[in-house]
Structure 1
């Protein structure tokens, strides 16, 4: 993506006795060049219509950390999406205002520019549309976009930044959605040990990591494919069921019985930082996940064929488990989490 420089001239008509008197304000807001990592998939189409810009990203980051987005001014996006956790959370389920407990585990916010669907059930295909959801959801921020706009306007520190980011349009709902999405588009993680090995930058796998990579390619890559380490498909892999009766997995979106308890395959990048694991934090450690898959998963009519064809399990020896975890740890990007 080529870096472009846009100069946007906005004419502001001053209140005076002459209609010809006017003042021109020029906003220079250069587009930011996203560095596309080696062999990453195509960008989401929305990135091309909401290209990250200098002030758009600056505004988006500020809003991502802004507690005024919540009804009682106590939580922000960053409250559940912490950089040190690869923008995920340490709770099994998301915790909103007044300690309200949500339905699912907050997923990490990484490599969003390359994802074609968002959330555990894939109910969003545009990141810009996702931004409103936590703001208005009862178990999250429980506010409204009009309330948020009013609070940002009263704060006094936002008007000029919105103008710089969006051609003098002031504080708007679209400005909130687009700027936060722009910031999230820049959260690209591709500098782990795995990446450095692949790029030939002097790193090499240990014996355990290399053997774990072989196990991964044999037993995991069918679902965790591409350089995102997810094929972005929806699968029922027989994990323990969420006791919340509101849960139905992908079926909450499609209404199809066959999608019951199917969830989007999560990325394994930065997996060492994103515990607990599963759609509602069923597992505290990676070892617990592998032990469960090895012992046998829950039966279901729509259980993924890979499991059905192997007696509802992914057989793993204890050595394979240790080595597989060693490999998955090479997907950790310390720079991305701010270390």
Structure 2
């Protein structure tokens, strides 16, 4: 009994000494208030569970431009998502490490906080689940999350930033995914000429732009609705088919025949900067896109009803095409791409 009491006393003494020497670090990481544009849709649920914070956004931006995410340290997310192109690029299909060519065109990254699905086929419903895809994909970064973590752990600046962003948790896979999503949630584009006209800030449409806006409302708004200029639906609009036999559009996710070659309707915001157009860059210019609709699209059983009902085309005169392009260019947010 005496020995038991003595050992207990020693243990308590050691514990007391240990506690006295322990330093408790408190991290202050305030949330960032997002500036929600007028008439935009509701924020998606993930923004509420993973709200942008001061250090989370700083970390996410640093990771977005970090080439260590790739196996050979040569490309980052920003290699394919270039800010001057509204975070898209000018390649028909994305190009990864060692010049490997991907399946699809890199989509722009803007207003993701208001989106309900991501990627051309909507295979991700949470932005936090997206960063792993390019990291592990052979044609993109061809790495692994463990390899990425091992690289980052050798950099003291990353250790410090992860701790500040996630309350001392250190470098984790979840921290990588959540911080990158937080950064991308802040990429809000809503300061184009169109927005300024709508807000009555002294801007006005030219006659050509106003006529283009009317044409847009008559012939385009059924797909490109809401202030995001996409209804976020999946549609087969009869574009030329990707020759890659792995492509099936939304059907790659659902396995349903009726989803074959259906893709998420792209936003028209900043469309001026995001050429080429289509899921694998089928069209070099907006004029080519409009010409294709005018001449007639590929028929299919699941072709979008709007096209089916209009003889597989959207008829446009050359003047209407010019006016429509003029209007679409009013959706260019130069402040957003020049930051």
Task: State the TM bucket, normalised to the shorter chain.
Answer: over 0.9
The residue aligned with 1:59 is 59
Q: Does 1:272 align with 2:268?
A: no
Tell me how many residue pairs correspond in the alignment: 326
The Cα of 1:155 is off from its aligned counterpart by 2.5
TM-score, scaled relative to structure 1: 0.95
The residue aligned with 1:167 is 167
What is the SS of the residue equivalent to 2:290? helix
Partner Cα distance (2:211, 2:116) in 1: 31
Q: Which has the higher strand share?
A: 1
The Cα of 1:24 is off from its aligned counterpart by 2.0
Q: Does 1:331 align with 2:331?
A: yes
Partner Cα distance (2:202, 2:37) in 1: 18
- For structure 1, the residue ranges without an aligned partner over 5 or more in a row are 1-13
Partner Cα distance (1:182, 1:137) in 2: 22
The Cα of 1:17 is off from its aligned counterpart by 4.8
Partner Cα distance (2:270, 2:18) in 1: 61
The residue aligned with 2:227 is 227
What is the SS of the residue equivalent to 2:25? strand
Higher Rg of the two aligned structures: 2
The Cα of 1:25 is off from its aligned counterpart by 1.3
What is the SS of the residue equivalent to 2:154? helix
The residue aligned with 2:256 is 256
The residue aligned with 1:36 is 36
Partner Cα distance (1:75, 1:157) in 2: 20
The residue aligned with 1:73 is 73
What is the SS of the residue equivalent to 1:148? helix
Partner Cα distance (2:143, 2:64) in 1: 15
The Cα of 1:308 is off from its aligned counterpart by 0.5
Partner Cα distance (1:133, 1:142) in 2: 10
Moved more, 21-30 or 218-227: 21-30
What is the SS of the residue equivalent to 1:41? coil
Partner Cα distance (1:211, 1:179) in 2: 43
Query: CA offsets per residue over residues 155-214 of structure 1, 9 Å max, x none?
Result: 232000000000000000000000000000000000000000000000000000000000
Matches for 1:254-333 after TM superposition, within 5 Å: 254-333=254-333
Partner Cα distance (1:107, 1:147) in 2: 26
What is the SS of the residue equivalent to 2:287? helix
The Cα of 1:68 is off from its aligned counterpart by 0.1
Partner Cα distance (2:19, 2:121) in 1: 55
The Cα of 1:23 is off from its aligned counterpart by 1.3
Change (3 A) 1:214 1:163: same
Change (3 A) 1:242 1:127: same
Q: Does 1:148 align with 2:156?
A: no
The residue aligned with 1:109 is 109
Partner Cα distance (2:288, 2:118) in 1: 26
Matches for 1:120-135 after TM superposition, within 5 Å: 120-135=120-135
The Cα of 1:51 is off from its aligned counterpart by 0.3
- For structure 2, the residue ranges without an aligned partner over 5 or more in a row are 1-13
The residue aligned with 2:3 is none
Partner Cα distance (2:237, 2:195) in 1: 28
The residue aligned with 2:207 is 207
Partner Cα distance (1:267, 1:209) in 2: 18
Partner Cα distance (1:73, 1:32) in 2: 31
Matches for 1:233-244 after TM superposition, within 5 Å: 233-244=233-244
The Cα of 1:16 is off from its aligned counterpart by 9.6
State the Cα RMSD in Å.
1.2
Query: CA offsets per residue over residues 32-82 of structure 1, 9 Å max, x none?
Result: 000110000011100000000000000000000000000000000000000
What is the SS of the residue equivalent to 1:27? coil
Partner Cα distance (1:210, 1:293) in 2: 21
